[in-house]
Amino acid sequence: MSLASSVLDGERLAIARLLSQIENNNPSGQDALGELFPHTGRAHLVGVTGAPGTGKSSLVNRLAASYRNPPKGIPQLKVAIIAVDPSSPFTGGAILGDRVRMRDLSGDPGVFIRSMAARGSLGGLAPTTASMVQVFDAAGFEIIMIETVGAGQAEVDIARLAHTTLVVEAPGLGDDIQAIKAGILEIADILVVNKADRPGVENTERALRSMLELAHPAPRVFIHHGQIESLTSPESTSEGNGFWLPPIVRTIATKGDGLPELVSAINEHQQHLKETGERQNRDRARLQAELDTLIQTNLVYRWRQHVSDSQYQEILESLIARQISPHQAVEALLNGGIAA
Amino acid sequence: MSERKIRVLVAKPGLDGHDRGAKVVARALRDAGMEVIYTGLRQTPEMVVEAALQEDVDVIGLSILSGAHMALVPRVLEMLQANGLEHIKVFLGGIIPDEDVPRLKELGVVGIYGPGTLTEDIIRDVRLAVNGTSEP
């Protein structure tokens, strides 16, 4: 039986192996992913981002437990978790510690947790996170949670990948200017104020609320590889009725407080995406972004095979000696490389 | 374009609550360019093996100071076997009396390290066990 068909059957060892092959850009992993791709597109992807220490891992732990132990009459869902932690820029090594907060989930065959090192990627996700999501999707996990590196203000990649993005804040981490900075808050579909038993929770919530009220129902447009992209269809925002105002949910993840409210907020957002056609728009934008990223990576890789190390070194040395400018260096490398 | 990194699970099975040594080793392995999954204190052998499966690690490093190694280690090795994970190399650190070492090695533990071990030695042995060479 092929690796792909074992993954479709939900075999855990096969899933784990394929995830590694994909993470390592192994060609056989790409082949298996090709077989699996038609079976993807069913899962709901929940992104969880926010500054370090806001309690993302604990929240993911509780959220997964809520999906595994739903109230009576609500179906139990299978949950996959991808937790991304930073790689050292110097050694390439990493310590992946998110499982420490997720021990409640162990022993449950309906949960699969995978830790990932960012491997040099900025933006809070690893280069192969999107592909790993597809493996879990094909394997029949209904909820896939992606926890980003806790860098804070620039992790917009998650909004491109997830259907519902949670931005986690905690009292006492920065003033209200942090809240109106561009980037991280604009990507929130749901704002979570975690550690809500801490002093200052009212201030944090007020700052977030005033930020939301100030915000015009702007279409979710961002610049990606120099191109303006939109996450929202123009109709849904201009008419106003399709506009989603991010709710603010207070939680205390360590105790489980606020989790039922958070689950309902995610369900409502899921419903909203479906009714407004926004889900299709997001899926479209995500796949286009993935395509563009892959083109970039592959072009660089192919080009690099045409340029010898000595050519590269020679041009680098002229650059360092300031004989040529960075732009001229690129020009020389691209032309020389392609001609050679 | 393939890039493989050594993945290591560092776990503390059993009930002792002292993980300084485990953290020092985790940090040293990270600095050697490996990806270290740290799972924290008080893990059962079941939890260790489940995490090793999901994370598809090459190596498990167990830290045991409680004296329960003759109960915990055989159980971990048994469960690895039962789950088709016999390729994973198991290392052990902590307070392990000399007389237990031969039996543990016979069971399949690759390396055993007591207090005073140099982290370079652990890094070398892990690379050797996974890649067949001590080169990074």
Please, are residues B36 and B15 in contact by the beta-carbon 8 Å criterion?
A: no
Q: Please write the tens of the pLDDT for every residue from A293-303.
A: 889 888 888 88
- Structure tokens that stand for B128 in this block: 């050797």
Please, are residues B115 and B95 in contact by the beta-carbon 8 Å criterion?
A: yes
H or E stretch covering A192:
strand A190-193
Q: Can you give the pLDDT at residue A268?
A: 96
Check if A97 contacts B (Cβ < 8 Å). yes
- What ipTM was estimated for this complex? 0.91
Q: Can you give the pLDDT at residue A237?
A: 42
Please, where are the H alpha helices in chain A? 3-8, 12-23, 27-36, 56-68, 129-138, 157-161, 176-180, 201-214, 234-238, 259-276, 278-306, 309-320, 326-339
Q: Which residue of A has its CA nearest to B2?
A: A25
Low-confidence ranges of chain B (pLDDT < 50): 1
- Please tell me the class of the A40-296 domain: alpha beta
Is B34 in Cβ contact with A93 (below 8 Å)?
yes
H or E stretch covering A50:
strand A44-50
- Please tell me the class of the B7-130 domain: alpha beta
CA distance A330 to chain B (A): 22
Check if A302 contacts B (Cβ < 8 Å). no
Contacts of A304 in chain B (CB under 8 A): none
The neighbour count for residue B121, using CB atoms within 10 Å, is: 11
Please, are residues A139 and A114 in contact by the beta-carbon 8 Å criterion?
A: no
Q: Does position A338 have pLDDT exceeding 60, yes or no?
A: no
Write down the domain spans for chain B.
Answer: 7-130
Q: Please write the tens of the pLDDT for every residue from A168-193.
A: 988 877 655 555 555 667 788 999 99
CA distance B115 to chain A (A): 22
d(CA A76, CA B45): 27
Write down the domain spans for chain A.
Answer: 40-296, 307-339
Contacts of A91 in chain B (CB under 8 A): 30-33
Contacts of B80 in chain A (CB under 8 A): none
Which A-chain residues 77-96 have CB contacts (< 8 A) with chain B?
87-88, 91-96
The sheet carrying A94-96 orders its strands as A94-96, B35-38, B7-11, B59-64, B89-94, B109-113
Question: Rounded mean pLDDT of A263-281?
Answer: 94
- Strand ranges in B1-136 using DSSP code E only, listed in sequence order: 7-11, 35-38, 59-64, 89-94, 109-113
Q: Can you give the pLDDT at residue A306?
A: 83
Q: Which residue of A has its CA nearest to B23?
A: A95
